[in-house]
Amino acid sequence: MIHCAIKSIGFFNFVVHIRMIKSMKIHNFSAGPSILAQEVLQEAAQAVVNFQDTGLSLLEMSHRSKEFDAVLNEAVDLVHELLQLPEGFKTIFLSGGASTQFALVPMNLLPVGGKAAYVNTGTWADKAIKEAKAFGNIEVVADSKADNYTHIPKNYQVPSDAVYLHVTTNNTVFGTQFHKLPETRVPIVADMSSDIFSYEVDMNKVGLIYAGAQKNMGPAGTTLIVVREDLLGKADRHLPSMFDYRIHIKKNSAYNTPPVFPIYVSMLNLRWVKKNGGVKAMESRSIARSELIYSEIDRNPLFRGTTATEDRSRMNATFVLNDDYHSLDSDFLELCKNAGISGIKGHRSVGGFRASMYNAMELDSVQVLVDVMKDLESRKG
């Protein structure tokens, strides 16, 4: 019977069909690499076999070809449209992950001896601070580390002589989020790796945004940078060519061989975001998902959230079983597994549970998780 199915629909389509069936059964709450829409996965899979009827796989196609040049240009155009970038912003796609940008940002923006302000809200912000200290005077103006990063700091002052203020907008490990950018007169540099394209941002406040693709934009392997071009060229240090944003801008992200497939899939995902209502619609979806899960966390006597209510992340809901119910950890995970829930365990450094709910996640998947939480409660009762 399976042999007949393969023969009738073709091997490639059969594989895609099986992948789609499996995906409908699995609810992917992984923090990253994260969930992508089925139509994006299907089109990406086709490109691996035969890209746009060229007879070539995208994986073996020249990054200098007119076909991939069109992909790059569309990806850039979609970024500008979806983020509503003002004049003067440039967009590039690089390798090395967001962690590489921890060093490249101060390297490109901060003059020798210059000052930058940083807000420390978690693991990745802390690492960004460590890397930046090699390139200038880094002032940590706010820090929630003493409180185990359970809240976003408030009421801090940003030095007027700071070249920029760096914030990590969403804390994937501990589950906090800036729901809007801080008010400041200096340009904001934002690591938006896990919440870019999930809510509207006032780009007039921004000097630079960087984001690893694998949490809310595409697959692992490329990092998006959007930067105000007038901020570049002021760092009075030698920059190796591969580390100089200006060279990558001039070469349209193709100074060297770019990460072709991750850029392509990110472009497909940006198409999907636009098709489904753009960033405003993604924000509404994220609010609905987060309200559903947090309502159950607050209602269910077995569970409690781990972050300040006003700073809860819409992308990563972190929670634990209450002290009297820690013995039910394995029972809860088993129920999740039986319901097709994947990736629900918290980060290894903090434990507990984490429901990561990126743009492509449907509300139905969150409802499945809520139903499992209710099921555990009923079994305990």
Which residue type, as a one-letter code, is found at position 164? Answer: Y
Q: Are residues 268 and 370 in the same domain?
A: no
Instruction: Choose, from 90, 195, 215, 244, the residue flagged as catalytic.
Output: 215
Q: Which tens digit of pLDDT belongs to each residue from 251-295?
A: 999 999 999 999 999 999 999 999 999 999 999 999 999 999 999
Pick from 107, 52, 135, 93: which is nearest to 266 by CA?
A: 93
**Cβ–Cβ < 8 Å for 147, 123:** no
Q: Are residues 121 and 193 in the same domain?
A: yes
pLDDT of res. 350? 84
What predicted TM-score, i.e. pTM, was given to this entire model?
0.92
Q: Is 251 a catalytic residue?
A: no
Q: Give first-to-last CA distance, the chain, whole Å.
A: 46
**Cβ–Cβ < 8 Å for 98, 211:** yes
Instruction: Choose, from 90, 191, 244, 311, the residue flagged as catalytic.
Output: 191
- Tokens 């938006």 identify what position? 192
22-33 in b/e form (b: 16+ CB < 10 A) is ebeeebbbbbbb
Q: Are residues 111 and 213 in the same domain?
A: yes
- In the predicted structure, residue 18 carries a pLDDT above the cut 90: no
CATH number of the domain bearing residue 343: 3.90.1150.10
Instruction: Choose, from 25, 69, 77, 124, the residue flagged as catalytic.
Output: 124
Q: Which tens digit of pLDDT belongs to each residue from 216-228?
A: 999 999 999 999 9
Q: Which domain holds residue 304?
A: 278-380
Domain assignment present for residue 42? The answer is no
- In the predicted structure, residue 152 carries a pLDDT above the cut 80: yes
- In the predicted structure, residue 6 carries a pLDDT above the cut 80: no
Q: Is 215 a catalytic residue?
A: yes
Picking from 275, 296, 327, the residue at the C-terminal end of a domain is: 275
CATH number of the domain bearing residue 148: 3.40.640.10
Q: Phi and psi at residue 147, in whole multiples of 5°?
A: -100, 20
Q: Which tens digit of pLDDT belongs to each residue from 120-147?
A: 999 999 999 999 999 999 999 999 999 9
Domain assignment present for residue 68? The answer is yes
- In the predicted structure, residue 4 carries a pLDDT above the cut 50: no
Q: Is 124 a catalytic residue?
A: yes
Domain assignment present for residue 17? The answer is no
